[in-house]
Amino acid sequence: METVTDPAIRAILAQRLLDHYAQHGRDLPWRRTREPYPVWLSEILLQQTGVKSVLPYYERFLDRFPTIQALAAAPLETVLTCWQGLGYYRRAVHLHAAAQQVVQHHQGRLPDEMASLLKLPGIGPSTAGAILAIAFNQHHAILDGNVKRVLSRLLALDHPPDSTPGKKILWETARLLTPLGHAGTHAQAIMDLGATLCRPRSPDCPHCPWNAWCAAHAKGQPAAYPATMSREVSKPHQYQFNALVVRQDRSLLLVPRPAQGLLGGLWCPPGDDPGPTATPPQAWQVQQWLADRYGLQVHLPQPLETVDHIFTHFRLTVFPFFCPWQAGDPPSDSGHRWVVPGTDQMPPISTLHRKVLRRFFKD
């Protein structure tokens, strides 16, 4: 911390970073505007997702929803369809809900003060700081994943960045290093530094504008930071089955996920909720479940190869079953649809369930 508590060194670090950014900063479409809505959208898209993946979605999203009002007025399903394939769908649900709140309570203009921004779904302190710094030229710091890594190495911080003491020190450091009058440019510059040079693996220390002051570099072990939790907690493993009910016309039964909860607002083949039971159900049990739950009669289900997927907090194994339809239709209040995969009838489905459908077509 001694490095960043010295005002003279802080001034040097700020100038070195801004000069480096002016020469090497990436030309990204959301950096060509200071309009609040595109800045907000880019910050949400970039949460836990790399720039390369985000680029086509950013352009497509703005084409489809050019204003906050257009986003708020769109059905959630349309928003999720536009988001499809990017993952972490809760971001899209929150973005849509926040747009509706902005229209209802802020005359369609994104708030320009911290307390109001933090009340919007999906906006935390770092995202709010980035919006206020970049779009409104206010003096706020940011602390996303890239910045946590950069600052952890600069300080050779012994605490994991997401621990209570680690977060306290990193926020204090981020605020100290954010220069007056240049908060927005500094935010872009330090995010760029983490993404392009101070990478998780193989950091490019020789080209870093801060290498002369970086404690991890001085120790000769920058890749040892950020510190990790002393005990690795393994993700719990859960299991579920999916019933792929297919009629003679090749249409597949899909049902909506509850708006709140895992994969909320998306569509999927019917199935049970994730649970700890690692033994797949018997074919006759799936057959009976479909009859009891949806009033469907199907030929004896055929088990397919399992599908594995990793969520943020748990691992999931899906047991898919091909269930040739015989008779019946789910009740109208189930919200179901019969769709032909691969056509424009398909509603938004998650990466997980695209894997399940690929397994079905493969087998």
Q: Is 338 left (phi over 0), alpha (psi -120 to 50) or beta?
A: beta
Number of Cβ atoms within 10 Å of the Cβ of 285: 13
Q: Which residues contact 311 (CB under 8 A, 6 or more apart)?
A: 262
pLDDT value of residue 326: 93
Active site residue 43: yes
Q: What is the model's pLDDT at position 232?
A: 47
Looking at domain 237-362, which of 1.10.287.610, 3.40.50.800, 3.40.190.10, 3.90.79.10 is its CATH number? Answer: 3.90.79.10
Phi, psi dihedrals of residue 41, rounded to the nearest 5°:
-60, -45
**Residue where the block lists tokens 């990204």:** 28
pLDDT at 242: 95
Interatomic CA distance for residues 118 and 210, integer angstroms: 32
Catalytic residue selected from 43, 59, 77, 232: 43
Question: Residues of 180-202 as b/e, b for ≥16 C-beta within 10 angstroms?
Answer: eebbbbbbbbbbbbbbbbbeeee
Q: How many residues does the chain have?
A: 363
**What gap in Å lies between CA 72 and CA 65, rounded to an integer?**
9
Q: Which two tokens stand for residue 222?
A: 């920058």
Residue type, 156: A
d(CA 100, CA 40): 14
Cis peptide before 226 (omega within 30 of 0): yes
Q: Where are the domains of the chain?
A: 2-224, 237-362
Q: What would the CATH number be for the domain defined by 2-224?
A: 1.10.340.30
For β-strands 297-298 and 315-327, DSSP reports them as antiparallel
Sequence-distant (6+) residues with CB within 8 A of 349 are 84, 254, 266, 267, 268, 357
Measured CA angle at 192 (ends 113, 86), to 5 deg: 80
Q: How far apart are CA 129 and CA 123, in angstroms?
A: 10
270, 243 Cβ separation under 8 angstroms = yes
Beta partners for residue 325, in sequence order: 298
Q: List beta partners, residue 338.
A: 253
Strand partners, 241: 319
- Residue numbers of the chain with a pLDDT score lower than 50: 231-232
Report yes or no: 307 and 356 within 8 Å, Cβ to Cβ: yes
